[in-house]
């Protein structure tokens, strides 16, 4: 159900994989629930501060702002593992959407989606554990700035061997052939989306 947001290619692992010792499922917070209220009542000012405001092409843009560990000490170790139950994603417009949208300057649409359906497990490298940022807006320039910050973590990839892989999922027979040509150890593990039972997707609303 998340292909439109994250792409058509999947590498999956069994939960017994040794790498699970380095990752953990996220804790999804209902933003109106008791745990979120405890956090926001004490830390709202720190987690909502904006970064530097810039004028880019005539539009205001707030840069991501590095959080201050000393002011969030009680909950700092947990922050990378919190996520709202309901959030947003930016999806590139299709050609048809571009043709009918009166705002040609926007190449993405903003979708509201239930993030808890993703059931995300997250790896946070020790080396970058203190590089936590807050953002004010969720739009292309903000996401580009965050992507640039994420580039710094490429020295800390979580590694795996081909033997650890349970399944690889690809969209076409050509993709399957290309992968098996380069990685013969994955024989019997590469499947097409058409071979995977499809579950009904959750409803998401565009804004």
One-letter-per-residue 3-state SS of 22-41: HEEECEEECCCCHHHHHHHH
The candidate with the shortest Cα–Cα distance to 60, out of 150, 136, 147, is 136
Q: Across the chain, how many H-helices and E-strands are there?
A: 5, 14
What predicted TM-score, i.e. pTM, was given to this entire model? Answer: 0.78
d(CA 14, CA 167): 9
Q: Is the pLDDT of residue 106 over 70?
A: no
pLDDT band for 101, please (50, 70, 90 cuts). confident
Task: State yes or no: pLDDT of 98 exceeds 90.
Answer: no
Tell me the C-alpha distance between 168 and 175, whole Å: 10
Do the beta carbons of residue 83 and residue 29 sit within 8 Å?
A: yes
Q: What confidence score (pLDDT) does residue 112 get?
A: 86
């Amino acid at each position: 159900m998340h292909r439109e947001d994250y792409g058509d290619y999947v590498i999956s692992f069994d939960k017994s994989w040794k790498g699970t010792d380095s990752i953990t499922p996220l804790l999804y917070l209902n933003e109106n629930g008791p745990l979120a209220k405890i956090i926001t009542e004490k830390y709202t000012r720190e987690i909502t501060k904006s970064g530097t405001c810039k004028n880019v092409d005539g539009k205001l843009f707030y840069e991501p702002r590095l959080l201050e560990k000393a002011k969030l000490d009680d909950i700092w170790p947990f922050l990378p593992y919190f996520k709202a139950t309901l959030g947003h994603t930016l999806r590139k417009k299709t050609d048809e959407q571009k043709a009918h949208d009166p705002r040609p300057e926007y190449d993405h649409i903003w979708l509201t989606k239930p993030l808890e359906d993703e059931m995300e497990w997250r790896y946070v490298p020790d080396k970058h554990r203190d590089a936590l940022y807050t953002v004010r807006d969720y739009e292309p320039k903000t996401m580009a700035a965050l992507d640039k910050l994420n580039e710094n973590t490429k020295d800390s990839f979580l590694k795996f061997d081909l033997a650890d892989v349970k399944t690889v999922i690809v969209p076409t027979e050509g993709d399957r052939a290309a992968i098996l040509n380069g990685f013969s150890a994955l024989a019997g593990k590469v499947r097409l989306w058409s071979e995977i039972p499809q579950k009904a997707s959750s409803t998401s609303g565009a804004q």
